[in-house]
Each structure stands twice: as structure tokens, then as C-alpha cells.
Amino acid sequence: MGFALSDMQLTSPGFENRGQIPQKYTGYGEDVSPPLEWTKVPEGTRSFAIICHDPDAPLVEPGTYGFVHWVLYNIAGDVSGIPEGCPDYTMGVNNFNEKGYKGPKPPPGHGIHHYFWWLLALNKDLKLESGLTQWQLLEKIEPHLIGMNRLVGIYEK
């Protein structure tokens, strides 16, 4: 399939697609991950992964773009959402060099940032080890990707 949008839908009861992210889910608030829900999952899905990425942030590493806020994977294929502050599943390393969720925290006066929560459906339960970066995860899951879509939120300080 490659990395192309599918019919799968990703939403959050916490904010609308392309809407303002509540401060609660940012580094200026409680810094908890938002609740997420998904539908129209591709047939044959065995697991999911989630990445939260800010393409508007300054470069962190040469050869990349933006800032990774969350890498979450090994989510069972029969799951249809995760709760706010989700502590479950396997955590990867974000660009804060920490495991877990670290919410939006753009510098004051830097303008509007767009935060992409990516949901990736896989045709295999890979049982991946903890601590993968976004790029390591994408390399491992790409051959098994059967669906993906995104939820976009905005935030400005």
C-alpha cells in the first residue's frame, strides 16, 4: 500500500479536525495525550501505531523535518480508540528524547503550528520493542501498512 491515506477515520472527542487543541493536551497545560477514536478500519488489521508530529517546528535532526511528540505502537487490531492520557501500549522515543507523550509547546510568537496525529493500520502484530523513534518505527512497519489517516489540530502560544 505504501504511505497513502485510506478510508479509515481518526477523530478525537477533545477537539475537531483542523480545530484548536485544548491547552490541557499541550506542554502549557496538563500535557496529557488526547482521547482518540477510529472507524472504517481496513479488513485484515492486526495492530495499530500512532505518531504525533509537528511539521511546523524547527528542524531537530539533519535530514528530517518538524518535531515528533509521540510514538505509540503494538496496539491490538481490535481496539477502536484510546483514552485521554493513554499509558498503555508500547512507547517510542519522541524528539524530547523521552518515551511517552509530550504535547504541543511552540515558542510564544512562533505562529500557528499544525499537529498531525497519524493512525497506521498494520496487517501483522509485530510485537516491536520499546523505544523506537518515528523513523525506526516507520521502517519496520512499512511492509505491513494497509491503512492510514490523520487528525490535525492547531495550537499557537
For the stretch 13-60, pLDDT in tens is 999 999 999 999 999 999 999 999 999 999 999 999 999 999 998 766
pLDDT at 16: 97
C-alpha to C-alpha distance for 61 and 142, rounded to whole angstroms: 22
What confidence tier does 62 reach under pLDDT thresholds 50, 70, 90? low
Amino acid at 154: I
C-alpha to C-alpha distance for 135 and 78, rounded to whole angstroms: 25
Please give the residue that has the higher pLDDT: either 5 or 72: 72
* Residue closest to 112 by CA, chosen among 155, 52, 55, 58: 155
Q: Is the pLDDT of residue 1 over 60?
A: no
For the chain, which domains are there? 9-149 (3.90.280.10)
Kindly state the DSSP code that residue 100 receives in the 8-state scheme. S
Cell of 29: 497545560
Residue 112: CB atoms within 10 Å: 11
